[in-house]
Structure 1
Amino acid sequence: MAVSPVVFVPRGQDAVLGCSFTHSRQRYYTGTITVKWLARESDAPPFFICSVKNDSVGGLADCSSSDFKYSLEGDPRRGELSLLIRRVHLMDNGTYFCRVELQYWMSSDQKETQLYVTVEPQISSLSVVETSSRGSDGAPRRLQCEAEGHPLPTVSWLSASGAPLGDQVRTSMTGPYHLVSSVPYPEEEVLTCRVESRLGGAERRYPGSNALMITVTVCGLIVMLLLSTGILFYMRNRARVRSPPVYENTATARADAPPIHENADVENHRLQSSDCPAEGDVELQLVYSTVSLTRDASSQHVRSKSQQQQQSEIFYAAVNV
């Protein structure tokens, strides 16, 4: 028999554990070939069993199926016993045994192979935790970094300036592929957790860039809103001060006054101006209008332009300002 000593496969991909065999009478053998795969221990019950007659020409429906996690990658009739494991995860990591049994000679053989599921260093969480009691460092809060990887990564802490933090760092394993590290976090500082292994590295900063960006954005919006409100209020007050008052002449012409035509000139004059009282009451102001009237030639006897008579009268009215 021949097997692959070690098979390295990233988590989430398919793994093939290579295994093959030969024997002197294989060409003339008509009995059953039984393939068994065992895990962890050499005498453990097999988790995968497949049998096929060497003289058959049919398919391998019982040995190969895309619906199962385990299936054969090859044909035992050609000495191929490799095991296919679909979408491996960390729990698949470990030792496997390939075993073949021949019916007539009551013989068997078994070989060992190793599956090594690799996981690049990752940080699963980075958060501040409250300590139940003050320890030797006297910190009521600690910044905790949870990481995973296979091989297990190393953890280091960096300050905002990039300097390593070596004091008061606590790191412990919480599983074969997980660990937790923490440092005191008494103030709102910016710290970075970095994990590294031969497969790569990862790091995360606290507070995260998203939190800082959200805070800056919200503050900027509030400032812009306050500025817009102040500018709008200032422009409205300025417009009220600079806009000329509008007065409406509500007086009615006398019955005997001549009709007013398009060439009549009207001039409004404000006799007195004052600020509005503080109580908000409306103050009455005296306003007069000078109206120049021209009599129409059609309503009088025909006269020359030099003899047209003009009459000026003054009307007084109280208006609200």
Structure 2
Amino acid sequence: MDACLLASVFTLLPTFLGAQGSGDNSWSMKVQAEVRATEGYPVVLPCSFSHPNHTPHSSLLVAWRQGAALLFHCTTHAGSQACEPALHQDPRYRLEGNPREHDLSLRINSAALQDGGRYYCRVEVPGHKHASYEDKMGTLLRVEAPPRILSLSVGGSQDSGFRALCEVEGSPLPDIQWVSPDHLLEGLEVGRPPGQGPPSQHHTVSQLPDIHPGQQYTCSATNPLGREQATLYVLPPRREACPGAAAPSLLLLLSLSLGAKALLLGGVGVWAVQGRASSGPICRWR
């Protein structure tokens, strides 16, 4: 990156926080108020502009930010059609439009839930007084995702009682229901598990207290894009044949279904609280 380009970029950064134009009424910029995307798919944020000082031979400095964070910037040099991105630019972002044709649209490849937020488009014509502009309202990007059950686990002990935990992600945030074979059960929303950071608008954990051996419990997560569910089978304790052998404390069999399709998780994992033989049930994932 040459010294002139670097100086232009740092000149832009203080003005980003104000989200203001140059004060030149000859500018115009057109963006969409809201864009919706699906997780894992590309999305384009439209942005176009016009200004009398811009000619096909003008150099342009283009920048996009999400909130206060600068995400992307590139420069078109005189005599070149390409908009050259900054060094170490995240490859997920690229300019979809052609600045020579007044199109500054940004493409985000493989949209993720954390990409949701408000985006602002900015353009500058270097060497011209007041020849810069940023749309004040911006574009709100909403990234949607069907429910996904990240984990279904058991906590507690025989003394304090066992509880089931269902960790779910999705956008809009899924509704969670606990179901036994014959009736609905009352779960409690407990946010994210300890040590996993602050609560997220796309992530939640529901807890079902007082689960019992010999029963099965289903966690069902639903939002407008779909439904996913997982079922936990809690088997009664069994005695070990070998005296003195240590035994895990709870047996779990997990099945997962997407809509009408049932998906059995392959492999076996073990969750265990070590104790003496015959102290409690056995535990395993399926």
TM-score under structure 2 normalisation? 0.62
Offset at 1:67? 8.4
Aligned length: 198
- What SS is found at the alignment partner of 1:77? helix
Query: Relative contact order: is structure 1 or structure 2 higher (C-alpha 8 Å, sep ≥ 6)?
Result: 2
- What SS is found at the alignment partner of 2:168? strand
- What SS is found at the alignment partner of 1:80? coil
Offset at 1:29? 6.1
- Residue 66 of structure 2 aligns with which residue? 39
- Residue 5 of structure 1 aligns with which residue? 33
Offset at 1:144? 1.4
- What SS is found at the alignment partner of 1:190? strand
- Which whole-Å CA distance do the structure 2 matches of 1:34 and 1:199 have between them? 39
Aligned mate of 2:73, from 19, 29, 49: 49
Question: Is residue 35–residue 49 contact of structure 1 (8 Å, CA) maintained in 2?
Answer: yes
Question: Is residue 149–residue 230 contact of structure 2 (8 Å, CA) maintained in 1?
Answer: yes
Question: Is residue 190–residue 207 contact of structure 2 (8 Å, CA) maintained in 1?
Answer: no
Instruction: Note the 1:38-117 alignment, pairs <5 A.
Output: 38-41=65-68, 44=69, 46-53=70-77, 56=79, 58-60=80-82, 62-63=84-85, 68-103=91-126, 104-111=128-135, 112-117=138-143
- Root-mean-square deviation over aligned CA pairs: 2.7
Identical aligned pairs, as a percentage?
32
Instruction: Note the 1:123-202 alignment, pairs <5 A.
Output: 123-131=149-157, 134=160, 140-161=161-182, 163-166=183-186, 169-174=187-192, 175-176=199-200, 177-183=202-208, 184-202=210-228
User: In the TM superposition, what whole-angstrom CA distance separates every residue of 1:171-224 from its partner, at most 9, and x where no partner exists?
Assistant: 12223121111212122201111111122221111123559xx9xxxxxxxxxx
- Which whole-Å CA distance do the structure 2 matches of 1:131 and 1:16 have between them? 50
Offset at 1:133? 6.8
Offset at 1:116? 1.4
**Where does structure 2 lack aligned partners over 5 or more consecutive residues?**
1-28, 193-198, 234-253, 256-263, 269-286
CA 1:11–1:133: 2 relative to 1, 3 Å:
farther
User: In the TM superposition, what whole-angstrom CA distance separates every residue of 1:208-265 from its partner, at most 9, and x where no partner exists?
Assistant: 3559xx9xxxxxxxxxxxxxxxxxxxxxxxxxxxxxxxxxxxxxxxxxxxxxxxxxxx
- Residue 283 of structure 1 aligns with which residue? none
Report the structure, 1 or 2, having the larger helix content.
1
Question: Is residue 152–residue 178 contact of structure 1 (8 Å, CA) maintained in 2?
Answer: yes
CA 1:23–1:142: 2 relative to 1, 3 Å:
same
TM-score under structure 1 normalisation? 0.56
**Where does structure 1 lack aligned partners over 5 or more consecutive residues?**
135-139, 215-321
The amino acid of 2:72's aligned partner reads F
User: In the TM superposition, what whole-angstrom CA distance separates every residue of 1:112-140 from its partner, at most 9, and x where no partner exists?
Assistant: 11121111111111122225973xxxxx1
The amino acid of 1:173's aligned partner reads G
- What SS is found at the alignment partner of 1:91? helix
The amino acid of 2:223's aligned partner reads S
Q: Which has the larger radius of gyration?
A: 1
Moved over 2 A (4+): 23-26, 28-31, 131-134, 207-211
- Which whole-Å CA distance do the structure 1 matches of 2:113 and 2:159 have between them? 36
